[in-house]
Amino acid sequence: MRFDIITVLPGLLNSPFAHSILQRAQKKGLAEIVVHNLRDYATNKHKSVDDYPFGGGSGMVMTIEPFALCIEKLKGERDYDEVIFLTPDGVTLNQPIANQLSIKQNIILLCGHYKGIDQRIRDLFVTREISIGDYVLSGGELPAAVLVDAVVRLIPGVLSDETSALSDSFQDDLLDAPVYTRPADWNGHKVPDILLSGNTPEIEKWRFEQAVERTKERRPDLLK
């Protein structure tokens, strides 16, 4: 699977993909993540990628030309399943959306800044608009990193069977049960006896009950 991320701040995306599971996925050849500097596609001599909004108002608007040139160049090289614009007024990212995206081949992510991007970019190129939550960030780069992380960990072979993404919270509309590790007794704070019992069916039953309890308490909206 390949992600092409178009941004004015490519440096902001150096680190998120260079560690842990995302780094491993790329090394194994299961994910390719390519970051493009939007400024490389600016045609004016100041390399500017934004301008004043028509009709007045505060803030700058990102112009269509550099986005169009970059997207068209990429589309000339391969077919894309989706062109996603990260924006607080998009559909909120959740596990079913991450699951849907994880079976795609090639995805372009557009990161906005300033007051927004020219509406024509959204009308002409964008196939989906995704938000990572009801709060406003300074740009789409961190949301793009969040989306890539949520999706890449679902690609078969990225996680070992043991840590399979299928057992994640939200995959079955249940939050995870609490987990513990050594020591079994820390200053009198003990691990639940059941987890030390070696009785696997009883442990599974306990975990399920805990997951249901936690979901009822914290996210009753997930329980249908």
Contact residue for ligand ADE among 135, 161, 185, 221 (CB under 6 A):
135
Contact residue for ligand ADE among 42, 98, 132, 145 (CB under 6 A):
132
Beta carbon of residue 97, minimum distance to ligand ADE (angstroms, whole number): 13
Handedness of CA 95, 24, 112, 127 (dihedral sign): negative
Beta carbon of residue 204, minimum distance to ligand ADE (angstroms, whole number): 37
Q: Is residue 116 within the footprint of ligand ADE (CB under 6 A)?
A: no
Q: Is residue 59 within the footprint of ligand ADE (CB under 6 A)?
A: no
Contact residue for ligand ADE among 59, 96, 133, 156 (CB under 6 A):
133
Range 141-160, binding ligand ADE (CB under 6 A) = 143
| CB nearer ligand ADE, residue 89 or residue 161 | 89
Number of C-beta neighbours around residue 209 at 10 A: 11
| CB nearer ligand ADE, residue 66 or residue 143 | 143
Q: Which residues bind ligand ADE (CB under 6 A)?
A: 86-88, 131-133, 135-137, 140, 143
